[in-house]
Every structure is written in structure tokens, then in C-alpha cells.
Amino acid sequence: MQKIKKFLLFILPLMMAASCGTPVNIPYFQDIQEGSVDSIAVSKTIRIRPGDKISIIVNSQNPKIAMMFNLSYATRYVGAVNDDVINSQSTGIQGYSVSEDGCIDFPCLGRIEVAEKTREEISDYIKQRLMDEGLVQDPVVTVEYLNLKVSVLGEVARPGRVNIDRDEYTILDALSAVGDLTIYGRRENVKVVRAENGVRNTYVVDLCSAQDLFSSPVYYLQQNDMIYVEPNDVRARQSTVNGNNVRSTSFWISLASLLTSVTSTLFLIFR
């Protein structure tokens, strides 16, 4: 009886250790203290690239003049008598696709180079051109993104592509848009892949450290960035091979190690 008790006292901790996963870092910003101040990376306003699509809307006190510069389209209903009668819900603004040489064709102004310019710079340039050439006296030019996205993959609630809807779009904005990381995501090893100057660079971000996150060069995202959240060891052990119920190799190695320990213990106790 005494030997059995010794055996149970030895085997139970082993079984608990085998059933439990490797500890993981779960909370964000673990290094934040009350009153602490962390520096933030220099903001990188998004600049337009070839292949991007933007909308440019010109407004004025004279709507008929402004309409000349807006690529509007409308869906006409069957039976409509007058083309001027357009349901407001059926109208929209088409976008300008940026060519390989970084230009767009704008009504009346012709070919305009927009690559490497911010939304504000494009807006100011078109506004000034319209006034200088006497086309619109009081233009208000609004530039919006249409197809700028980032991809979020891995251990997040809803992997997919996320629209960039404003300047200074952060990695936290993107992760929030996909429902945050799952409990199995490695918060201390989030990878961001970015194409820069003809090459792809990979950055690693530690969400558990506010200092590391806020000072990272990828805290502010750019269009076409790819975020990948690795699974932790617990998720890796839960994965299956070829879609069946057989667990991964690491599981069987751990199980074999446990059985070896149990066998050795039984031999020592009952010999």
C-alpha cells in the first residue's frame, strides 16, 4: 500500500505536466506602469503607389461645374423619363487607378502624377491647378482610399484582408478589425512582412511590450502589409496530421517520454 501511494505521488504531477500546455504570454502591454510614458514611432502617412485606387471628389458652390470633375455614374431605372432625375442612392463615384508610372488621368487637367504623394498633397495640388487655370473658383477637393488593404493571417478570430480607411493606420487597428488574436496566438512574436524598395522585409513585434510595439517601424501600417500571428505550442500540439485524428509527432514523442518515465518508476517501486 505504501508503494502505491509513492507511485501515485510521483505519477500525478507527471500526468498534470503532460496535460498542461506550455505557458504563454497572454496580456498585452505587460511593461506598462501607472504614469509611465512610452515613445511612439514616427508617424508614416500613407503614400500612394502604382496599382492603388483612389477617389477624388470636387465640390463647389456651383454644383454643375463641380460635376465636370467627378467620375460619377448612375443606375437609371426602367421607365425613367428624365436623365436629370437620379435617385441619390443609385449614384456613386468611380475611382482613379494609378498607372505603373504613378499617374492618373483627371478631367480637364489631364495626366497628373500622384505616386509617392499623400492624400493631402494630391488634394492641394488639384485644388491649386483648378484655381490657377480658372476652372473652379472655390474648389473643395476630397481624396479617399478605395482599395488599400492589409492582410491578417494566423491565430486571429477572422483572418482576411482589412481595408485601410484612414491615414496612420496601426497594427492594433488591423488586429481589432479581425477580432483580435485567439488565446493560442503568440503575442510576443507577431510578424509583419512589408515590401520596401523592391525587397520584402520581415519585422517582429512583441504585443506584450508596449515599448517594443509603439516604437516599432511597423506600428503604423502601409498598404499591402501582411501580418502573421504564429500559433503557440499548445495549438501546435493540438494540430492533426493530414486532417485525421492522429496527433502531431511532438505529441507522440511526449507520450513516449512519459511512458518511459512511468515504466522506470514502476520498475524501481515494485522490484
Cβ partners under 8 Å of residue 56, min gap 6: 69, 70, 96, 104, 106, 122, 123, 126, 141, 142, 143
- The stretch 193-197 carries a mean pLDDT of 89
> What pLDDT score was predicted for residue 35?
66
13-17, 127-131, 234-238: segment of lowest average pLDDT: 13-17
Task: Quote the CA–CA distance of 72 and 90 in Å, as a whole number.
Answer: 10
pLDDT for 18 equals 47
Q: What is the DSSP letter of 216?
A: S
Would you state the pLDDT for residue 87? 40
Over residues 171-191, the mean pLDDT reads 94
Residue 34: all three cell numbers together: 501607472
Give the mean pLDDT of 201-219. Answer: 92
Give residue-wise pLDDT tens across range 157-175. Answer: 999 999 998 888 999 999 9
CA separation for the pair 130, 127 (Å, rounded): 5
User: Does residue 150 surpass a pLDDT of 80?
Assistant: yes
Q: Please tell me the predicted confidence (pLDDT) of residue 252.
A: 63
